[in-house]
Copies of this chain bind each other. A is one copy, B any other.
Amino acid sequence: MLDEARALDAADPLALARQRFRLPDGVIYLDGNSLGALPVMTPGALSRTAEREWGNDLITSWNKHGWIDAPARIAAKLAPLVGAKPNELLVADSTSVCLFKLLAAALAARPGRATILTERRNFPTDLYVAQGLADLLPGTQINTVDRADLGTAIVDDTAVLYLTHTDYCSGERHDMRALNEVAHENGALTIWDLSHSAGAFAVELNGSGCDLAVGCGYKYLNGGPGAPAFLFVAEHLQDDLRSPITGWMGHAEPFAFAGDYRPAPGISRFLTGTPSILALAALEAGVGTFDGILMSDIEAKSAAMTQLFIDEIEARCPEVTLVSPRDPAQRGSQVSFSHPDGYAVMQALIARGVIGDFRAPNIIRFGFAPLYNRFEDAWQAADALAEILSTREWDQPRFHARQKVT
């Protein structure tokens, strides 16, 4: 019921956070799990960084405007969102490059063990990174199993359990704590990809005993398209792990121009090359949209908003089948349904200004960003879907034509 949704918005402790974003009129944006919305502060941050800092102060900005400290400074702001200590996080590179670094570091830290254990439905780029590393390092095995078999597949040869926390397609969350425990009992390390978790709900990296993690800056963190990623290395592991991609930023004395690499103490050793300061400025503004926000409020709103959406659709749309977990504690801040013509259905929704996305073969996917999505958005999107399905509005040639990026 629309009235109920509006009442929930009126009582929402996060309602004011929507003003931190510049959202286009006439659009219900439910794709913040693919690309977060533009924060109001970002254009100014970019302009300040480009014109006042780079333009006026040129090379001296590295000191004068704290560019050199940006990867650690942003990481410190991000740490409370994912339950880490500030010195356990770092902003760097892309998600895929960060995964490569940590996976190689984890394998090297478990000599005598040759297997990366992962699941069949892990995010494709995560699988690709593992495959590329296994090609590079002779003897490395990848054991790819079904989700249900993960617990028993962790064995003596498992060097690292390598998983995405929240499934990009279904939104199902793994039990990080339980899997970390099994991994540790068997002497393996764990790497968690938090791309669909960080900023969507309360992640407890330390609380659940994680070893290593990587996350995405451009989804729920609103850092802008292709924003730098972040990586996490639990404090007690930092001195034992080494990045395989050793550049000047990770050197113990980056400005000594020494010929031999000596890794910096702590998390900084996982830096490689000079990061884009413009990209970092946008990411800092994105992380800033969480200023003063309680992750418990984010989590509660995510659960309630996705539930309202599911309830409304299941009541009115017999044509679709819920793919996401029914228990809010087991799903991320996204809801997926299957429909045989999912692609065309999503195109019809987009034509109405309801932006979600499609994932092959038949999934329509809706991301809910608790900072800027409203309960009313969830209701309106469900209402639009119900109309599109009941009238078969989606069954038009223009909605079947595929685009390059979907």
Hey, which bits of chain A sit against chain B, CB under 8 A?
22, 24, 27, 29, 31, 34-35, 37-38, 42-43, 46-47, 50-51, 54-63, 67-68, 93-97, 100, 104, 108, 120, 124-125, 127-129, 131-133, 135-137, 144, 218, 224-229, 242-251, 255-261, 272-280, 282, 350, 355, 357, 359-360, 403-406
Contacts and interface: CB of A to CB of B under 8 A. Distances in A.
Contacts of A404: 62-63, 68, 255
A129 B247 contact: yes
A228 B135 contact: no
Contact of A278 (B124, B137, B278): B278
Nearest to A259: B127
Given A58-B24, A128-B248, A104 B34 contact: no
Nearest to A94: B273
Q: How many copies of this chain does the complex contain?
A: 2
B226 A94 contact: no
Given A94-B275, A277-B224, A404-B68, A58 B43 contact: no
Contact of A274 (B47, B94, B258, B261): B94
Given A24-B56, A56-B24, A247 B38 contact: no
A229 B35 contact: no
A58 B46 contact: no
A311 B262 CA distance: 40
28 contacts: A22-B55, A29-B58, A31-B59, A34-B59, A35-B58, A37-B58, A43-B47, A43-B51, A61-B225, A67-B225, A93-B93, A94-B247, A95-B273, A97-B97, A97-B245, A97-B273, A100-B244, A104-B136, A124-B257, A127-B260, A128-B246, A128-B261, A132-B242, A135-B244, A224-B278, A255-B405, A276-B282, A278-B278
A270 to B, nearest CB: 12
A363 to B, nearest CB: 10
A251 to B, nearest CB: 7
A137 to B, nearest CB: 7
Contacts of A31: 58-59
Contacts of A68: 404-405
B225 A46 contact: no
Contacts of A260: 127, 131
Contact of A93 (B97, B137, B280): B97
A108 B136 contact: yes
B248 A96 contact: yes
A224 to B, nearest CB: 5
A361 to B, nearest CB: 10
Given A94-B247, A128-B246, A261-B127, A276 B227 contact: yes
Given A31-B58, A124-B258, 20 more contacts: A29-B58, A43-B55, A50-B282, A59-B355, A60-B350, A60-B355, A67-B225, A93-B94, A100-B272, A131-B260, A131-B261, A144-B259, A224-B277, A225-B274, A226-B279, A255-B404, A257-B359, A257-B360, A276-B278, A279-B279
Nearest to A100: B245
Contacts of A405: 62-63, 68, 255
B38 A50 contact: yes
A42 B260 CA distance: 37
Contact of A136 (B29, B137, B218, B256): B137
A133 B242 CA distance: 12
Nearest to A67: B225
A58 B279 CA distance: 17
A245 B55 contact: no
Given A63-B403, A247-B128, A248-B128, A278 B279 contact: yes
